[in-house]
Structure 1
Amino acid sequence: MNKRTILVIEVVVVGLALLLWWWSAAEPGSQAMGDADFISAGPYRVAVTVTPDKPVVGENQLQILVRDNDGQPLSGAEVRAVGEMPAMGTMSAMYAPAEITEVAPGRYEGSFELTMAGEWPLAVDIAEGENHVDLTFDMATGREGLRLATATPAGEVAYHTCSMHPSVKSATPGTCPICGMDLVPVTHEEINSGSIRVEEGRRQTIAIKTGKVTRETVSLPLRLQGQLAYDESRLTDISLRFDGWIGELKVTDEGQAISQGETLFTVYSPELLTLQEDYLRARRSGNARLRSAARQRLMRAGITDPQLQWLAKRGKAQDYFPIFAPASGVVIEKHLLPGSAVKSGETLLRLADLSRLWVEAFAYEQDLPLLETGLTADLRIAGQSAIPATVAHVDPFLQRDTRTARVRLSLDNEAGRYQPGQFAQVNLQVPLGEQLLVPEDAVLVSGHKRIVFKDQGGGRLMPVPVRTGYRIDGQIVIRDGLKEGDAIITAGTFLIASESKMKAGVAQW
């Protein structure tokens, strides 16, 4: 072999050595990775190495290679990794997050720092678009390499989880380490669509029942609490238009029944006495104009025709003039005594006609849009049978202290069976027209959201967010989200919800 040949060989050897050195520097740790080092995780192939091979207390390097199913490097993925030392005794869990960056297509590197010796299980999370995979490795300081614990399965099943403990995720079937229940598979289709599959056997186990969304003409029952009160349009106040003194008092007590025209009391008034004398003198004079003027003065003083007739029969002015009841009723207020002085305009007596009463109930503001005059109602007073009534008035304002509005109904009381102050229960039926209805048990409450499970057939159930209305006799009005005839789950929704929520993780939860 001549010197030239030897020189060529040396150049080739040196070149190969430089190439190997460059490859090692460009992709540290990857030169020893073959297809056997890659792990199938969901739609990806992933290889994870740590440098040094035996992790140490302090800084360590992490290399993650990600390829798609065709073996091409996956760029632009969001890759995260963290080591965790579990809590022990009074010591809380410690974390060693790695700052990961993409240094070449499909190659992600970062470093993490272990603060003490021991077990540091490593979790790796890779997300790209709608795809997401998780891997966990057993890792410890001073122990060589990483040992795969779990990985998102490839194919139809994404992972296995426990219906009661969603934090449990396993790459393989098995039992829940917390409750011992069998783990159930979660498919990629379920994650993407939000639906779940419940086989017939499991349906029977958790007592699932199905039904239909119906459309019916309904009325909303509304129950209000109220109290009987005086009909204020049938109250009569007794007062004088002159000063005076009370003589004989015929009204002895509140609650006394008074008939129209009955004498209530007599009154002495110098002003009234003068008006009587002028009137009688004008009558005797035969002058019609004087007589009419004197009569008008008495009537402006509050004297009525029956009182004028009474005075004409007497033929002379009376010191104590009678005051007659202008209407029949019951005395509900009394503010005078025999001999007491009274002033013009003072309310001396108040009479109430109890042949008709008001029922005053109070409705909360959310119920006010449903109420209007003319609505029929049933009243129950003192445990008696239902009494028909109608809404006569709804106050256009709220009571400040209770945030309620008064609803007034009219009650016939010709027989005198009822008394103001009695409590009354007001049962209203508010017509709502045709509405979509589902059983109350079909609606699942999730925070501010309401969910109904729609049966899509083939064992597949889809959680559907709905907008609900009033509850009516065990049913709920559906305002939006379903249509008439939709097949839905009417029982067992709570157990289905746990599976759907944990399997799918859909937006409606």
Structure 2
Amino acid sequence: MKTKRYLNILVLLSFFILVACSDKKKEHDTVGTKYTCPMHPQIVQDKPGTCPICGMDLVPMTDQGKDASIRLNESQQKLANIMTMKVGKGSMANSKVLNGKLLNNPEFTEVISSRVSGRLEQLYVKETGVAVRKGQPLYKIYSEQLLTMEQEYLLALKQLAAFPNEKRYSEMADAARKKLELYGQTSGQIERLGNTDKTDPYINFLAPASGIISELSAIEGQYVGEGSVLMKLENLEQLWVEAQLFANELGNVKEKSTVTVQVDGFESEPITSIVDFISPQFDANSQIITIRARLSNPKLQFQPGMRANIFLPYGNASNAITLPVKAVLHDGKGEHIWVKTGDNTFEPRMVKTGIENFDRVLIEQGVKDGDEVVISGAYLLYSEMKLKKGTDPMASHHHGTM
């Protein structure tokens, strides 16, 4: 009986020892394990829990090793749009970025005014923003003044036909024709009048140029006097881009200087232009000077009022290594890039940057000639590293050497 009792006690002790060892092993396994949110990799904790942002359960981080590199297979690289380029030395133009604005070019603005007095019978364009072509009818007017001039021209033609050798009749016909031209009649309209030998009190007036109707100042049925403004026509094929700079920066720009213009929304289509105006005086209160360049707009994709950046060159760097601006990541510790170090292997590297223009940045330290640098998808690599390793990939990095 005693032997059986001792045996039971021994079995119970063995069970408790096994349970204690198992719990100790579990506790040992969880020591040092970090947990993160699958949706927000910046959330990292030392114990299980929920994400304070989205409420999802935190999951243990996987460990890819203690080194700072990360591996992605070819499918993962395609999904993340990882693109690389081998860097080489070259020259780079330094520039200053000015905030600009697109404006109408007054040289291409047509003010459409009534050439004669009369009543507006019909407006063929009744709202602003409408595109018109040169020679397109804009309005019809009833004018007794113009009717009288038509009659004078037809009479002069009949007198010339009756006395073809009389110089004074020829001069009278020419004078009557020029008078009609001065009052806005086209050569085609005058020829038609002579051929039909019929006057018409309702006369169409045609667009003198192609463009956009930017302003309407008249309505149908209105009586207008000679010279009354009816509408404005803007030709947007060439615009102005204006920017402002401080007086102490004026030495960086001169008339005929070449600049690069980048319109908001069309950053991938930079335009080269020439500065053709620098204000001869500056605002005494703001100490600001206005500069202006012409902007070609043959596709009419740019509109007045749009914002633009003007890149004003003021120096060059030669024998330099440059990268696309988007290849360089910025955080509180500085700037860094990702370099491909082997097949499907990438590692972060701190860099020191220099001058920057609208699409390139000078790398002063951290990259050498021939390095293969990630130029697309760098931020995704950064997030993947934090998710899989649970640490900032740049926490222990320092600037490299050229």
- From the CA coordinates, give the structure whose radius of gyration is larger: 1
Which stretches in structure 2 are left out of the alignment for 5+ residues? 1-90, 162-168, 319-353, 357-402
Name which of 119, 124, 133 aligns with 1:245.
119
How do 1:290-301 residues align onto structure 2 when only pairs under 5 Å count? 290-301=172-183
Q: Which moved more, 1:386-395 or 1:255-264?
A: 386-395
Corresponding letter in the other structure for 1:225: N
| Alpha-carbon RMSD | 2.6
Q: Is the 8 A contact 1:332 1:352 kept in 2?
A: yes
**CA distances 1:194-239 after superposition (whole Å, capped 9, x unpaired):** xxxxxxxxxxxxxxxxxxxxxxx99763221111111222111111
Q: CA deviation at 1:262?
A: 0.8
Name which of 222, 231, 234 aligns with 2:108.
234
2:336 pairs with 1:336: no
Q: CA deviation at 1:369?
A: 2.6
Q: CA deviation at 1:388?
A: 2.3
Residue of structure 2 equivalent to 1:349: 231
Cα separation, 2, equivalents of 1:310 and 1:294: 15
Cα separation, 2, equivalents of 1:310 and 1:362: 53
Name which of 294, 315, 324 aligns with 1:410.
294
Q: Using structure 1 for the length normalisation, give the TM-score.
A: 0.40
SS of alignment partner, residue 348 of structure 1 = strand
**CA distances 1:70-98 after superposition (whole Å, capped 9, x unpaired):** xxxxxxxxxxxxxxxxxxxxxxxxxxxxx
Looking at both structures, which has the greater relative contact order when contacts are Cα pairs under 8 Å and sequence separation is at least 6? Answer: 2
Q: 1:332 to 1:302 in 2, by over 3 A?
A: same
Cα separation, 1, equivalents of 2:106 and 2:154: 38
Corresponding letter in the other structure for 1:273: L
Q: CA deviation at 1:400?
A: 5.5
SS of alignment partner, residue 281 of structure 1 = helix
Cα separation, 2, equivalents of 1:400 and 1:313: 64
How do 1:424-503 residues align onto structure 2 when only pairs under 5 Å count? 424-431=308-315, 473=355
Cα separation, 1, equivalents of 2:271 and 2:200: 51
Residue of structure 1 equivalent to 2:158: 284
Q: Is the 8 A contact 1:307 1:324 kept in 2?
A: no
Q: Is the 8 A contact 2:94 2:317 kept in 1?
A: no
Instruction: Give the number of the structure whose residues are more often helix, by fraction.
Output: 2
2:196 pairs with 1:322: no
How do 1:264-275 residues align onto structure 2 when only pairs under 5 Å count? 264-275=138-149
Residue of structure 1 equivalent to 2:276: 392
Name which of 228, 240, 257 aligns with 1:358.
240
2:144 pairs with 1:262: no
Q: Is the 8 A contact 1:275 1:294 kept in 2?
A: yes
SS of alignment partner, residue 178 of structure 2 = helix
Cα separation, 1, equivalents of 2:100 and 2:117: 41
Q: Is the 8 A contact 2:121 2:221 kept in 1?
A: yes
Cα separation, 2, equivalents of 1:248 and 1:312: 25
Cα separation, 2, equivalents of 1:233 and 1:364: 27
SS of alignment partner, residue 313 of structure 2 = strand
**CA distances 1:147-199 after superposition (whole Å, capped 9, x unpaired):** xxxxxxxxxxxxxxxxxxxxxxxxxxxxxxxxxxxxxxxxxxxxxxxxxxxxx
Q: Using structure 2 for the length normalisation, give the TM-score.
A: 0.51
Q: 1:380 to 1:340 in 2, by over 3 A?
A: same
Q: 1:302 to 1:375 in 2, by over 3 A?
A: same
Q: Is the 8 A contact 2:138 2:204 kept in 1?
A: yes
Q: CA deviation at 1:313?
A: 4.3
Q: Is the 8 A contact 2:253 2:312 kept in 1?
A: no
Cα separation, 1, equivalents of 2:317 and 2:228: 53
Q: How many residues align?
A: 221
Q: Is the 8 A contact 2:213 2:233 kept in 1?
A: yes
Q: CA deviation at 1:295?
A: 1.3
Q: CA deviation at 1:289?
A: 2.5
Q: CA deviation at 1:327?
A: 1.0
Which stretches in structure 1 are left out of the alignment for 5+ residues? 1-216, 435-471, 475-509
Cα separation, 2, equivalents of 1:347 and 1:256: 18
Q: CA deviation at 1:321?
A: 0.9
Q: Is the 8 A contact 2:113 2:227 kept in 1?
A: yes
Instruction: Give the number of the structure whose residues are more often strand, by fraction.
Output: 1
Q: CA deviation at 1:399?
A: 4.0
SS of alignment partner, residue 294 of structure 1 = helix
Q: Is the 8 A contact 2:217 2:231 kept in 1?
A: yes
SS of alignment partner, residue 229 of structure 2 = coil
Corresponding letter in the other structure for 1:303: Q
